[in-house]
Structure 1
Amino acid sequence: MSAAKTFRIVVGVDGSPESLRALEWAVAEARLRQGQVHVVTAWQHPAMVVGDDDHDWDPTRYEARARRLQDEALRSVHAGPEDITGEVVPGQPAAVLLEASTEADLLVVGSHGYGGFTGLLLGSVSNQVVHHARCPVLVVKPRRQGRL
């Protein structure tokens, strides 16, 4: 990294407590490095069930929810406007974060802590980005009960 280049941390935020911890970590690290944090929130249409007429499939509803989650996350951290930027991107979360990793020096994500068979069934964004990101990845794990 050259002296003129700003260290860029991309962090995935979905509104979960784990992603908020990842954002807090990213902001603290950026301060240490005089770097920049770029918050990425992905959104996508839910899976559609044939014959299910009870849902509003308006994409603006899902994008608005993602923007609201990101805005709340940004308000939760204490960073100056020059320190942190954000974007809301349509797409599958792992794919969106992998794309964002091409412009990052570090990618930070939270882990929901699903493991074993449950994690396999649900798919793991953190697992996918750890294996395929174009930069180093830090996974912020959930705190265990009774531990600091």
Structure 2
Amino acid sequence: MGGDEVFRIVVGVDGSAPSRLALEWAVAEARLRHGDVKAVTAWQFPPVTVGMEGLVHDPEIFPQAARRLQDEALRRVDCGDVNVSGDVVQGSAAGVLLKAAGNADLVVVGSRGLGGFTGLLLGSVSTQVVHHSTCPVLVVRSRTGDEA
């Protein structure tokens, strides 16, 4: 980051409690660094819909649901004077976050998302981001360790 450049933070938002904490942390850090936050939400068609187009009456239901989820998360955080933008992208969560973080100074993720393996310390997305990001990564956990 140069002298007059803005510190850019990318944060993954999936509606889970850890992602809400990650968003709060990203906004607080951006406030300290006079930076910007880009909240990124990824969505994919469920595998069962592939080849069954007749069963999905409105293909826009998935990106619309992702946008509502992100909008709700952004409403719950006091962004104050921090410039926060949102992006909803089709693709795998890790891939979308890694691409978005390509020109970021920091990427922030929750320790676990909405996956079903509740005993894991790190979820699959946070693990992939930690291992493959080209910028620093911060993984946010709750203070109590209760990720529900």
Name the TM-score, length of structure 1 as normaliser. Answer: 0.84
- Closer, same or farther: CA 141–55 of 1 in aligned 2, 3 Å: farther
Counterparts of 2:53 and 2:39, CA distance in 1: 34
1:82-121 equivalence runs, <5 A: 83-112=83-112, 119=120
The SS at the match of 1:78 is coil
Q: Which residue of 2 aligns with 1:134?
A: 134
1:1-148 matches, cutoff 5 A:
1-48=1-48, 56=56, 58-80=58-80, 83-112=83-112, 119=120, 124-144=124-144
Whether the 8 Å contact between 1:12 and 1:39 is mirrored in structure 2 is: yes
One-letter amino acid matched to 2:5: K
Q: 1:92 to 1:81 in 2, by over 3 A?
A: farther
Distance 2:66 2:50 in 1: 25
Residue 23 of structure 1 and its aligned partner are, at CA, apart by 0.1
SS in 1 for 2:79: coil
Contact 2:43 2:93 in 1 (8 A): yes
One-letter amino acid of the counterpart of residue 56, structure 1:
V
Question: What is the deviation of 1:27?
Answer: 0.2
Query: How many angstroms does 1:145 deviate by?
Result: 5.7
Deviation at 1:49, TM superposition (A): 7.0
Find the aligned partners of 1:106 and 1:26 in 2 and give their Cα distance.
9
Q: What is the alpha-carbon distance in structure 2 between the residues aligned to residue 51 and residue 5 of structure 1?
A: 46
1:72 CA drift (Å): 0.4
Shift of 1:78: 1.2
- Could you say if the C-alpha distance between residues 138 and 46 of structure 1 is closer, same or farther in structure 2, counting changes exceeding 3 Å? same
> Aligned in 2, Cα 1:76/1:50: closer, same or farther, shift over 3 Å?
closer
Report the TM-score when normalising by structure 2: 0.84
Q: After TM superposition, what 4+ stretches of structure 1 lie above 6 angstroms from structure 2?
A: 49-54
Consecutive unaligned residues of structure 2, counting only runs of 5 or more, are none
Identical amino acids, percent of aligned pairs: 57
Q: Which consecutive residues of structure 1, in runs of 5 or more, have no partner in the other structure?
A: none
Q: Is 79-88 or 11-20 further displaced after alignment?
A: 79-88
Aligned-residue CA RMSD (Å): 2.8
Alpha carbons 1:112, 1:142 under 8 Å: kept = no
